[in-house]
Structure 1
Amino acid sequence: MLFGRRKKRGDPLQERIDCLIGPGTTIAGDLIFTGGLRIDGMIQGDVTVSDIKAGTLVIGDGGCIEGDVRVSHVIVYGEIRGTVYATGLVELHPNARITGDVHYDAIEMRAGAEIEGHLVKQSAAGETQ
């Protein structure tokens, strides 16, 4: 179980983190990953999961992405400066900050989280509603 959430049948949530970008690390350039990725450092570029049906991105308290994010499931404690495209769930925790539009299938936003942009609900086929 990841962060107290149970995996449902067909849920793309990855229960493990396959890669960690630690605090104090900066990557300049686009990043493509598989499985689960946790970012506690800085990414200056787009972050994309290679298989959009199954990939979880966790952005830690000190983590920041300056670029677009394309994943199935994203959990944000830190900051994203760019557009988010999530085919599944977007979880925003109290200190989460997103400056850009958020395209989502489902969203969970805790008190204190901020979005400076538009919320765009997607249908199951990934089309904008």
Structure 2
Amino acid sequence: MLSRRKKKMKVARVDTILGRNSVIEGDLCFSGGMHLEGTIHGNISADDQDEEALLVINQGAVIKGDVKVPRVVISGSVEGDVHASARVELSSGARVTGNVYYTLIEMAMGAEVNGSLLHQSKEALRLEHLKVPGQSQGAQQTPRAGEAEKPASEASSGNTHS
């Protein structure tokens, strides 16, 4: 008998809870873990230094704005773009009207995305910092066709030795 072991999402502590009857008008920034059961009319983002931040949008919760967090679990409704730098989990009750930008995604049957799913590769981010061959700092210019390359001592002083 084979068993599948699912890699579980690292559990963040819950620092913020917005209850079912709560409504926020405006943007919200949090760190750590946040559970949302109410409504937010504005953008939600995680503190830039908190790569472990987790937003859980429970069933019945509504966000009318963009979401920018490392990790998000959606069971409610989002009307706006979702940007997750690490992971997106869409449960069967999830409703997203907007684009979903993700690195890893898990989507249950019944989840709804009215927009595009756009994969953001971490590899592309790492490759940006690599040097391009032939374009290093202080690179010497290559000689033009028909010109001979001068030794460094002659090129800098302009004198020729006999």
Q: Which runs of 5+ in 1 are unaligned?
A: 8-12
CA contact (8 A) 1:14 1:35 kept: no
User: Structure 1 vs Structure 2: percent identity of aligned residues?
Assistant: 39
- How far apart in 2 are the matches of 1:90 and 1:6? 13
Residue 38 of structure 2 is matched in structure 1 by: 41
1:79 & 1:64 partners in 2: Cα distance? 5
C-alpha separation in 1, matches of 2:19 and 2:93:
19
Aligned twin of 2:68: 70
Mapped to 2, the partners of 1:102 and 1:126 lie a distance apart of 18
Is the Cα contact below 8 Å between 2:55 and 2:73 reproduced in 1? yes
Which residue number corresponds to residue 79 of structure 2? 81
Answer 1 or 2: higher relative contact order, Cα 8 Å, separation at least 6.
1
- Greater share of helix: 2
Unmatched tracts of structure 2, length 5 or more: 1-5, 126-162
Task: Tell me by how many angstroms 1:62 deviates.
Answer: 1.3
Cα RMSD (Å)? 1.7
Give TM-score, length-normalised by structure 1: 0.86
* Structure-2-length-normalised TM-score: 0.69
> What is the 5 A alignment of 1:101-112?
101-112=99-110
Cα 1:126–1:104 shift into 2, 3 Å = farther
Runs of 4+ in 1 over 6 A off after TM superposition: none
Shift of 1:40: 0.1
